[in-house]
Structure formats: structure tokens, C-alpha cells
Amino acid sequence: MDGEVHRAAASWENGTLAPVDRLRTERADSPTPGLVEGTEPGAGQKSAMFVHAQSFEDLTAETEEARKEAEGYSELGKPADSTDGIEVLMGKDTISEKQNKKEGWQDSKSKEEDVSSEAWRSHRKHVFVLSEAGKPIYTRYGTEEALSSTMGVMMALVSFVEADKNIIRSIHADGYKVVFLSKSPLVLVGVSRTSQSDKELMRELQYIYYQIVSLLTLTQLNHIFQHKQNYDLRRLLAGSEHLTDNLLHRLDRDPGLLLSAVTCLPLASSTRDVVSSSLQAAKAKSLVFSILLAGDYLVTLVRKKDQFLHHIDLHLVFNLVGSSSSFREGEGWTPICLPKFNTAGFFHAHISYLEPASDLCLILVSTDREDFFNLSECKQRFLERLSKRNAYQALKDALKSPSYSVAQVGIPELRHFLYKSKSSGLYTSPELPVVYQSEEEEERLMGLYHDLHSRLHHATRPLRSIYHCGETENLMAWVTSGFELYLCFSPLGTKALAVSAVNKLLKWIRKEEDRLFILSPLTY
Amino acid sequence: MSAIRVDAKVVMLGKESVGKTSLVERYVHHRFLVGPYQNTIGAAFVAKPIQVGEKVVTLGIWDTAGSERYEAMSRIYYRGARAAIVCYDLTDSSSFQRARFWVKELQNCEEHCKIYLCGTKSDLIEGDRSLRQIDYHDAQDFADEIGALHFETSSKTGNNVDELFHKVAEDYNNTAFQYMTEETGVDLGQKKDSCFYSCCHNN
Ligand SMILES: Nc1nc2c(ncn2[C@@H]2O[C@H](COP(=O)(O)OP(=O)(O)OP(=O)(O)O)[C@@H](O)[C@H]2O)c(=O)[nH]1
Ligand SMILES: [Mg+2]
């Protein structure tokens, strides 16, 4: 217990929080026990929409853990040898002073950026992708060409360690964490100055790996590199860099990626039911998933019986649609691999907005690449049904206020929260209150949630709940077999208040669940 | 049923960022979008009715992505096309090489597809002649050699864009007319079905 408190305090220190002596972390017993998975607010009534809906671990588990066991791994602390290699990359310790420099995300992707400049070095999180031959494939900042020698060093490091039948997982040095993910035929490297754990960083690298696989399929990737080890993969990825850039941005900002969950457009259940059944009726033989999005909100999802969509695959779809205006005009038709479903093959997605200026985007995922016109007709049928049953207007009205204010909950001290129903894989969260609306504050709040999340899901010492008093806010996190809850309170509140707030909030969510969640997902 | 009824399938081909999407955007929506360049993902389809003489011809335009990633997929976009607009960027000589590649591909796989060779971004070379990397006459010679029509367009100013698509629709209309006169006794509707089976799914 003592150890826990201490550890936690140390990890907060690196973040943006208050002095250590004011910190208090406690492992509380569940104040309202007995909420069992499948009965929590927001749990689907019939069947889950996603596979592995509740698993945060599944992202990392199958690969890392399995490999760890199979081959045994060594986590490198600060081996003198390796830090030399890392020096090349990060330079001296002067960098930490720039830590809090604001990073406007739009202009942060300055590809022309000089890779020897301070600005380049001062980015909080670098991500590199390289081939096993050490050829650069992607860098978040700067150009791949300029970094080819750096990437060469990284690859040398990876193979040096692997030669010993070990796997290099991470290097900690100088306030930096360097995390390696080897996913043949790719190697991904993250360099971070954030307080995120290795596990979290690894998870982010996994996402980037899946992003690349979704564009090419693993089969094609393997084929290419078997054929030509030295292949320059950038040729095939040309034009997709912004997808990866955007995904990295989302990983920092989007609670859904943190929680391995998706959020729904708040919608009267009667309206959602009509939308879902209209989509269900507009089916075609080759259809596997029909997904209706409104910006980053899921409106509804209909799937083929016995086929499940993984939340990672859904996030990749969100990212694809959100990163490109190319679907704005006309109807898009693109091959897409959903790596959690099958890394070997492409689906074909019909992607179109319901109206040019609308946020409502329909994605019809099919197995048949010849089926475009058939799916185009499905969309028409869907639209006709929607209008006939007067649901289209209701849907458009709901879109005018896609989020809700935390004030609706009626807990004065509560500023913000994230609530995830584990069995449905869906989460809900109010809009950010004014105090967190600036870019820096939003980023900071997300950073706090990231920290809580990483401590709840600590690889060796997971926690069930955390209460934390800070100077600018009090935080609470609680995980049960049914849900995960993260709360942000005004700093004036007390722990007793927070605990009673949780009960009140859970009741409120229960009351609102048919508006905030998709309780009855449909199949064709 | 409100499914799109398409008369002629038209496919846009060419290296990435030569301006295929901009061309379609200009023709269909009469506008030129400034701002960061957005690669097309996969392909985009749009149906556009166009008045030719007394008839309305609906072009089903497939705007394909230039990225090599989608090359293996390209067949489904040009199969059964009546016209291909093969684009190159007047200021980028490598894009002309790529145009030659597409022409060869079409000649091998789609012999009935009429080719329109289109040099894009002519406004740039009007501003600065030294930017031109593809000589007008070289391109014209190549077009003659392959039996293609040749245009130079600007999606920014709109120069020659309507003319290009109008010519495509007109040529289609004339060949459709030819079918009718040559093959008297054959039901045109039937002929159409076999002709366009792969490009559009009506009912
Ligand atoms: N000045 C000028 N710029 C143009 C013109 N047409 C396109 N561009 C610019 O060229 C860039 C690429 O245009 P797109 O139309 O997106 O190119 P694309 O061929 O569709 O590219 P992919 O979808 O990747 O295959 C954009 O930045 C356009 O603004 C033009 O006529 N004049
Ligand atoms: Mg395009």
C-alpha cells in the first residue's frame, strides 16, 4: 500500500500536477459493489456489437505477453551501450525545458522541419516506422530521408539485442522513453517525454501498425519484403501519411482510443431504432457491416450475424473517414483491410455522406469488390426509408447538439467524466466544461485521464480505484467487472462527496442509457 | 427506384496529384478547392447528366486515386469504361511517363475505351512558361499515335474543362448512334445492357 502511494506520487511528479506532498492516492474499496458485467448501465441487451469489447489488454496481450513467455525478454534499464545510440537521436538534456511548449497540431506536421533543430527534438512524442532492413517508412516529424541514418541506428539496436534471443522493449534515459515494437516485417519505435508507461506507448505503436496493415494487408506486406528486403515501402504508402498523423493526434486526444471504446450520438431510442432497422432493411448479400457515423460519434452499426467488428477496426474506419475530405463529394469505393478481423484480405467499403454538407457518413463494408452499384442502391433504400418514417429530420435535429453538458447530471462539483460500459464497448462523456476548452487544458485533462488509466491497468499492479487530490482538480477512477469510470471534480470537493457523486452519476447514466448507448444492436 | 442510371462509364487515370479530382470537381461543381491537397482514397464515383444536342447523356465518372497502392485495384474502375481521361501534370515530366503506362494498360485490356489525353494545370505555365515540362507538340504526337484526343486544361481557371467532358459525352453519343444505325433490328436496350453490364447496375 505504501509502495503504491509512493510510486504513484513519483509518476505524477513528471506530469503537470501539484507538488508531491499534496498528493494523495488511495486504493478504495468499491463503494457500490455488485455491478456485474453485462448488467452495468449501457450494457447491450441482446448481444455485444464488438468482439473483445472489454479488453484493453487484448491489444498488447497476444503479442507482447505471448512473446515474452515464449522467448523471455529483457527490459533494458539504462545500459550504457544503448544510451550512446540514443544520444544521436535526442541530443542533450536541455530539451526538457521546452517540455510545455504549446504544439499547435495543425502546423506540428512540418515535414520540412530540420531534423537537427531544437524544434524537432522538442516534440513530446516521436514515432518512427522502419523496415527490418532499416529503411525508413514513416516519421511523425521531419522527413524520412533526413532520418535514414537515425533509423539505421535504431535497427542496429534492435537486431543487436535480438541476436541474443532477447527482445528490446524499451530504453529509459534522460527523461525519455524509447519503446520498440517489432512486428515483422515492420519495426516501430516511439520516443516519448510524456509520463505514459511503456505499455501505453506500446499500445499506441500497435495502433500505428494496424493503420499500416489496414492500407496494405499483412499478406501483401510480407509478400513485398520476402520478395525484396530492401523495398521502399513509402512508395505504396504515399498519400497515407496524414492518416497516420491523424491517428497519432487522436491517440493523444480521443478518449475512445484510450478506453478501447466508441461513443454514440445521444439519440432518442425510438429514433435510433428506426435508423437501425432502416439500415438493417437495406441489406445486400455481400454486406458485412453497415456503419452510420456522425463525426466521431457512432449513430448505429448493423452487422452480419456472427460477424463482429473490433473496436480497433472501427477506430481505423473513424480515422479514415475523419482524415479525408475525399468522401465529401460523390461516393467513395475503397479497399480496406480490417486487421482485427482478418489481416490477410481487403473488404471494400462504400463510403458516402448522406448529404454533401452533412456530418452523417454511411460506411457499407462489403466482401465483393464488384458490388459498388448494389451498395449504392442500398444507401438509396436506406435514405428513402429514413425519410418515409420521419427519422431523418429527428436525426438531423439530434446532430445540432451532439453532446450534453455535465450540468445535466446535477452534481455541482463534477466537471467532467468518462464512463465505459465494458460489455458493450461503448462509452459516454459530456462536453468539456469551459475550464478545459483551451487546447492546452484539453490536452492536460486528457493527460490526467491517461495517467489514471495507465495506473488502473498497470501491468503488474493493477488498481481498482484511485482518488487523487490535485491543485487544479480532484480525480477519481474506478474499474469494476462491468464498467470503467473516470471523474474530474473541482478541487474544492472531498472524497466523501466524490463517492456519493459516483452513485448519483451511475443512477443518472442508468436513467439516460437508452439515449446515450446502443442497447439493442441489430444484425441482418 | 432511384438508383443512378448511367449511360457511359468514364474513368480518370493518372499519377497522384496531377489534378484528377480537381478536374471532376471543376466540371461537376464548377469550383476549385484551394487548401491542402487531399489524396483520393480508393476511388470516388459521381454521376453527371450532360446535355448533348437534344439528348441527355449521364456520365458515370470514376475518379481513381493515383497512389500505386491501388494499382492492383484499378481494373475494376476502368473495366467496361467507354472513355478514359488520362491525366498528366504539364509541370511534371514524370507524370507523363505514368500517363504512358496507363495508355498501355488500356490498350492491352480495354480496347474499346476511347482515350483522352489531358495535360493539367495550364494556368501554372501561363503564369511562368519555364514551368512547362511537357511540350505541347510532343504530347500531341503521342496522342495522334495512339488515336487519342489531346487537351490542356486548368481546373483553377476552368479553361478547357467543360470542352473536355463535353467532347467525351458527344463522342459517346455519336458511337451510340452508330450502333443504332449499323445494327438495325437489334433492340437498343438490349445492346445497352450488354455494353454496360459491368459499369452500371440498373435495377
Ligand atoms: N494551379 C493549379 N493547381 C491545380 C490544378 N489542378 C489541381 N491542382 C492542385 O494539384 C493538387 C492535386 O490535385 P488533385 O486534384 O487532388 O490531384 P489528384 O490527381 O486527384 O490526386 P490523387 O487523388 O492523389 O490521385 C492540389 O493541390 C490542387 O490544388 C490546376 O488546374 N491548377
Ligand atoms: Mg484525387
Residues A302-330 have pLDDT tens digits of 999 888 899 999 999 999 999 887 777 78
- Asked, colleague to colleague, whether A118-253 and A267-402 share their fold, the answer is yes
Least confident of A125-134, A441-450, A512-521, B43-52: A125-134
At residue A517, the pLDDT reads: 94
At residue A3, the pLDDT reads: 35
Contact (CB, 8 A) for A369 and A336 = no
How does residue A95 score in pLDDT terms, banded at 50, 70 and 90?
Answer: very low
Determine which of A329, A331, A346, A361 to mutate to test the interface with B (most B C-beta atoms within 10 Å).
A329
Looking at domain A406-516, which CATH architecture does it have? 2-Layer Sandwich (3.30)
Length of chain B: 203
Chain A neighbors of B16, CB-CB under 8 A: 238-239
Chain A within 8 Å of B94 (Cβ-Cβ)?
A: no
A198-214, pLDDT tens digit by residue? 888 999 999 999 999 99
* Nearest alpha carbon to residue B41 among A509, A361, A309: A361
Least confident of A71-80, A196-205, B36-45: A71-80
| A236 to B65: CB separation less than 8 angstroms, yes or no | no
What letter does residue A187 receive in the DSSP assignment? Answer: E
Please name the amino acid found at residue B152: E
| A236 to B1: CB separation less than 8 angstroms, yes or no | no
Q: Prior bond to A266 cis, omega within 30?
A: no
Whole-angstrom CA distances from A393 to A102, A271, A278, A387 are: 41, 10, 14, 8
Minimum Cα–Cα distance from A350: chain B residue: B44
Chain B neighbors of A373, CB-CB under 8 A: 3-4, 200-201
In the predicted structure, residue B190 carries a pLDDT above the cut 80: no
Q: Look at the block and give the residue holding cell 497515407.
A: A240
Q: Report the C-alpha gap between B163 and B58 in whole angstroms.
A: 16
Q: What is the mean pLDDT of chain A?
A: 79
B102-130, pLDDT tens digit by residue? 999 999 999 899 999 999 999 999 989 99
Cell readout for B35 is 487548401
The minimum CA-CA distance between A237 and chain B, rounded to whole Å, is 7
Q: Report the C-alpha gap between A183 and A468 in whole angstroms.
A: 37
At residue B178, the pLDDT reads: 62
Q: Report the nearest atom of ligand 1 relative to the CA of B157.
A: 31
Cell readout for A321 is 473517414
Q: Report the C-alpha gap between B85 and A39 in whole angstroms.
A: 58
What is the side-by-side strand order in the sheet with A186-192?
Answer: A136-139, A125-131, A186-192, A176-183, A170-173
Domains of chain B: 4-199 (3.40.50.300)
Q: Report the nearest atom of ligand 1 relative to the CA of B40.
A: 23
| B41 to A320: CB separation less than 8 angstroms, yes or no | yes
How does residue A161 score in pLDDT terms, banded at 50, 70 and 90?
Answer: low
At residue A317, the pLDDT reads: 96
At residue A177, the pLDDT reads: 85
In the predicted structure, residue A273 carries a pLDDT above the cut 60: yes
**Residues in chain A whose Cβ is within 8 Å of chain B:** 215-216, 235-240, 320, 324-327, 329-335, 349, 369-370, 372-374, 376-377, 380, 384
In the predicted structure, residue B41 carries a pLDDT above the cut 60: yes
Percent with pLDDT over 90 in chain A: 52
Percent with pLDDT over 70 in chain A: 75
B131-185, pLDDT tens digit by residue? 999 999 999 999 999 999 999 999 999 999 999 999 999 999 888 766 555 444 4
Taking the domains of chain A in order of start, what are their residue ranges? 118-253, 267-402, 406-516
A424-453, pLDDT tens digit by residue? 999 999 999 999 999 999 999 999 999 999
Fold exhibited by the domain A118-253 = Beta-Lactamase (3.30.450)
Pairing of strands A297-303, A522-523: parallel
Contact (CB, 8 A) for A48 and A423 = yes
Q: Is B18 in the pocket of ligand 1 (CB under 6 A)?
A: yes
Please name the amino acid found at residue A113: E
Cell readout for A91 is 541530443
* Nearest alpha carbon to residue B150 among B162, B133, B138, B158: B138
Q: Look at the block and give the residue holding cell 451498395.
A: A375
Q: Which of residues 10-69 of B touch A (CB under 8 A)?
A: 16, 21, 24-25, 28-29, 38-46, 63, 65-69
Q: How many CB atoms lie within 10 A of CB B54?
A: 5
Name the H helices within A136-193.
148-162
| A376 to B65: CB separation less than 8 angstroms, yes or no | no
Q: Which CATH superfamily is domain A267-402 in?
A: Dynein light chain 2a, cytoplasmic (3.30.450.30)
Nearest neighbour of B2 by CB, restricted to A216, A327, A380: A380
